Chain A
Amino acid sequence: MIEKKLIRVTTYCMFFICLVTLNSCSDDLEEELKGQLSESNISTESDATALIDGIYNGLLAGGWDYYASGVLARATDGITDVFILNDSKYRPLETYDWSDEDISADLWASIYTVVDRANWAILLIEGIDETAFKDVSREQLIAEAKFLRGLAYYDLTGLFGSVPLKLEPTQSDEVGLARTDLEAVYVQIEADFEYASTYLPGKSYTPGKASKGAAYGLLAKTQLRQLKWEEAGANIDNLIALGDYNLFTESNFLELFYESNVLDDEFIFSVMSLGESYSTASNHHLKFFTPWGYDTGWATVGLPVGIYNEIESEDERNEVYFEEYPYLYGGAIKNAIDDFGFAINRKFGSYNRDVTAPGTGYVAYQNYGISKMSVPVLRYSDVLLLKAEIENELNGPNTDAYNAINQVRNRSGLANLTEGLSSADFKAAVLKERAIELAGEGQRKDDLIRQGVFVSTLNQYALDQGYSVTITKDYQLMPIPRTELDLNPNMEPNPSNNF
């Protein structure tokens, strides 16, 4: 009995303990998930400027593509009569043998990289709180991004015609877009440049940064592509009216292209290079316009004899374009036309490095990797010559037209253009002046197309050079890269894909 009672007491005790345990030891925690992850962490002004710097960086594509190393100039001027390419790598481009559909593939990829970076920048900067901006406004940074996107599409349409218009950043491996109507692409390019011309400052401290003037100039060029002469004229006038730019007259035309003058206010927009080292922020441009035997250049390219022979003897630009050159080894005078079949164009070359490697011969070769040379995209002489052309197109060769072209001629020591020219003769004179002034700077192809002489001029050039090819309008556009056509089922080829 006692034993039984004991068990009962024990069990009740344990029962009690269990009850207590079950109820009292449980604290009141209830599992629950809170919080969330935000999508973007970009929040400061320096984040925003880094995004913009990234777009500019894309213009040099690591130093070897797009505006760097003469790549774009080869695909534009290089197919015309002002830039001859005798390098084995570029010889097919020169001789119109474009059977390799990837002949401009690197340009396609590097320019779309710039588009994508600009799209990212616009999206992300729009998401930053306005109060984060102190040194520069949010609109100004977006305007820079839009200017650079506009420039990228301006170059893409010039090379390939109607292209896919992509205004959103790439976020996944979605299938590529189809072509957008050329007209719609131009509407977008104009919108980007207009935004840029509204929000960018009148003049930046450096032509390496997008500015109002650069936006007016590129907007005018976009309109000229569409033969909108009046609108283009208004924007050229806007640019000139800023009063920020003038022709380089401080010294000879040649010195405009010296490193020490990259900031001259003849340059409205340039792709600038920090020249930090061979592999960092250097554009190698100086290596791709001259032959080795002259200044250790890497390129057997230059100015074709036809256009060279049209340069008047008193023209100061003969310092830039010439046939007699001191041979690298020993300095004996040699003739470029005999040696290479063309005249040298030294706008971009080792000897222009008066800052990083002043001197000639070996002295100028050292520090090879360090060049602060720019790639000019828009110069004031280009603007003045467009002014002359537009004026003539709209009102005939009036005083304004003569005044504009004569400024450029006089700067190079030439007399005024013969007065009383017919509109057609004046047009031809402007075209020739532009060819000489801007050779190697990538303007000629647009000039020829705009004036309707692309086919005739280049057939003459092919004949002069002995290339057995008949140039048609189909040569105005480069082949769409084979890689793009293979990867993107929505993409259509250009006529030149079938060459």
Chain B
Amino acid sequence: MRKLLLVFFIIFQSCSQISNRFAPKIGVIEINSVKDNALKIKIDVETSEGADAYIQYWTYTNTAQTDSVISYSLISREKNLHHFMLVDVNLNTKYNFNVVVQKKSLKRNSKTYDFSTTRKIPWVPYYRNTDSISNVKFDGYLHFHSRQIPGYLFITNGEGKLASYYKNEDNFKVSKWTNRETLLGILSNDTLHFTNGKKIIEYDKFGNTLLEIETGKDNIEHSFHHEVDLDENGNVMTLVYNERIMDLSAVGGTKTDTIKGDGILVLNHKKEVVWEWSVFDVMNPLDDKTILKSKKDWLHANSLFKDKQGDYYVSFRNISQIWKINGKTGKLIWKLGGTDGDFIMPEDAVFSGQHNIRINENNELVLLDNGNLRFKPGFKQASNRIKMLDINAGSQSRLLTISLDTIQMKAKAKDIVPFPKKYFTHSQGSAEYINDSLVVFCSTNTNRIVFTNKNGNVLGNMPLEYSTYRVQYLKALYDTSYVK
């Protein structure tokens, strides 16, 4: 009987160790810097065969080290060699971390280690390190870029701290965080033009290049401008320039005049054209009385959006108009704004020189109304005397939400956030809601990212060293709901 007890004791002992013994094991954990990027931390982990693994890392928010903010890497599943890249770390910060491995319900944490990030990266042209947004904390991130050579894409967190950056030897004109958690940019090797370039690049969030499309290669002749994004199928959609040679002698031009107009180009990741559209398909330049003046940049498309039904929306600055275009046939569905729009517009909904258009979840149109009087429908400067003064001296940019009644063909301004006049941006820029009480406004002309409440009162701002075409709010960089 004593023997039996001993055996049971041993069985019990071994059972209690079984979960520990059976839990997947952790071998070498290797942590390394990434060349040319101070905010990417590479961690490779060796585990037992077929295990899931992730990194949890945290900073203490008080000196007693009782409160912490924990972040998680992506999860790596069913492997024995796991490669992680931490893409959400701040400069000059000490992080504690451990590796968590799991297989079925058996889980193991490694010992706790730590690493510290680089103190400063002064060659990154960033915003000035001020306390200017200490009153503006929010969940999520902002994405913007820096228009200089070398170019940078940035992601900052809700405290205004730099969380990630991506560098390119060329200059980012426009960039976008996509629905597939990748970053798209239009690149150019000059710093003269604001928003067009001859190359599109796509990075994954770890900084690896996924796709490069170049004008003049792969049978693509167009150059790209103002917008690049992925559609719901993961195809790249962008605005392009289309040149047409036309006889403009009837309006005082030459018989072979060149008109530079806009188009939409949709490409898959094999760089094959999936869909194409040109402004010349739906509008005749000869119908535009000012064509001789505007032929070098005819309507100036500056924003593109595709809705859930698959139709496109294009914003044209020069005519202060937004067009809805059938995503299959390319036919013009309606025109909003400008002098010949299809909707009845109350005065407070009239926009001019607008940017950054999209349809929100309530099926309303949201946009930055730059308020540039130069493009205001029907606006005429009064006299020579007034002409001496800046036409936009009293102008104001607004975040505008418009509800559209497409039966009665009536537009209505649903929400208006007027921004302070001193941050007026006559060109470029963006504005969107971060949450119900916080709005982010990119005032490109004043090199500022401005935060306001719903009434447009300033809560904080981030001064930028170099301008960005727009600023985009991101709820999260990736899904971490696997953590239970």
Contacts and interface: CB of A to CB of B under 8 A. Distances in A.
Contacts of A296: 388
A274 B17 CA distance: 71
A34 B26 CA distance: 13
B119 interface: yes
Contacts of B384: 362
B120 to A, nearest CB: 6
Contacts, number: 141
Contacts of B14: 18-19, 21-22
Interface in A38-66: 38-44, 46-47, 50-51, 53-54, 57, 62
Interface in B35-69: 35-38, 41, 46-49
* Most A C-beta atoms less than 10 A away, residue of B14, B37, B48: B14
Chain B binding site: helix, strand, loop or mixed by DSSP? mixed
A193 to B, nearest CB: 24
Contacts of B36: 41, 43-44, 47
A44 to B, nearest CB: 7
A124 B120 CA distance: 11
Contacts of B29: 31-34
B169 interface: yes
Interface stretch (A7-15, A179-187, A241-249, A402-410): A7-15
B31 A41 contact: no
Contacts of B18: 21
B422 to A, nearest CB: 12
21 contacts: A7-B4, A15-B7, A15-B11, A18-B11, A18-B15, A26-B21, A27-B48, A29-B46, A31-B25, A40-B38, A40-B118, A41-B121, A46-B169, A47-B150, A51-B122, A171-B120, A280-B466, A329-B388, A362-B384, A362-B388, A365-B388
Given A42-B121, A46-B150, 17 more contacts: A31-B27, A31-B29, A33-B30, A35-B31, A36-B32, A37-B116, A40-B38, A41-B36, A50-B125, A51-B122, A51-B123, A54-B123, A62-B447, A120-B122, A124-B122, A274-B191, A279-B445
Contacts of A22: 14, 17, 21
Contacts of A15: 7, 10-11
A42 B122 CA distance: 10
A328 interface: yes
Interface in A393-436: none
B104 interface: no
B22 A279 contact: no
Contacts of A62: 447
B390 interface: yes
Nearest to A39: B118
Contacts of A21: 14, 18, 21
A279 B150 contact: no
Contacts of B192: 276
Q: How large is the interface on A (under 10, 10 to 19, 20 to 34, 35 or more residues)?
A: 35 or more
B27 A32 contact: yes
A277 B445 contact: yes
Contacts of B38: 40-41
A14 B7 contact: yes
A171 B121 CA distance: 10
A29 B122 contact: no
B31 A50 contact: no
A76 B414 CA distance: 55
Contacts of B115: 37
A37 B117 contact: yes
A169 interface: yes
A72 B110 CA distance: 59
B425 to A, nearest CB: 9
A327 interface: no
Interface string A246-273: 0000000000000000000000000000
Interface string B389-425: 0100000000000000000000000000000000000
A26 B17 CA distance: 11
B11 A14 contact: yes
B11 A329 contact: no
Contacts of B33: 36-38, 41
A136 interface: no
B149 interface: yes
Nearest to B444: A279
A6 interface: no
B270 interface: no
A280 B15 CA distance: 70
A233 B115 CA distance: 56
A280 B191 CA distance: 11
B245 interface: no
A280 B467 contact: yes
User: Shortest 3 CB-CB distances between A and B: which pairs?
Assistant: A29-B27, A18-B14, A29-B25
A47 B123 contact: yes
A365 B388 CA distance: 7
Nearest to A296: B388
B10 A41 contact: no
B308 interface: no
B31 A37 contact: yes
A199 interface: no
* Most B C-beta atoms less than 10 A away, residue of A18, A57, A124: A18
A3 interface: no
A42 B123 contact: yes
B387 to A, nearest CB: 6
B190 to A, nearest CB: 11
A368 interface: yes
Contacts of B26: 29, 31
Given A25-B22, A29-B25, A36-B31, A18 B123 contact: no
A41 B37 contact: yes
Contact of B446 (A8, A279, A365, A368): A279
A499 interface: no
A278 interface: yes
A117 interface: yes
Interface in A44-101: 44, 46-47, 50-51, 53-54, 57, 62
A279 B447 CA distance: 7
A53 B148 CA distance: 10
Contacts of B380: none
Contacts of A30: 27
B113 interface: yes
Contact of A278 (B37, B41, B47, B445): B445
B31 A280 contact: no
Given A15-B7, A362-B387, A279 B467 contact: yes
B289 interface: no
Contacts of A32: 27-29
A41 B118 contact: yes
B217 interface: no
Given A22-B17, A35-B30, A169 B7 contact: no
B452 to A, nearest CB: 20
B293 interface: no
Nearest to A63: B447
B150 to A, nearest CB: 5
Contacts of B484: none
A381 to B, nearest CB: 33
B47 A29 contact: yes
A50 B150 contact: yes
B341 to A, nearest CB: 29
A132 B339 CA distance: 57
Contacts of A29: 25-27, 46-48
Interface string B114-138: 0111111111010000000000000
Contact of A33 (B25, B31, B445): B31
A117 B388 contact: no
Nearest to B428: A277
A27 B25 CA distance: 8
B2 interface: no
Given A37-B31, A124-B123, A169-B122, A31 B111 contact: yes
B192 to A, nearest CB: 7
A64 to B, nearest CB: 12
Contact of B21 (A25, A42, A117, A278): A25
Contacts of A39: 118-119
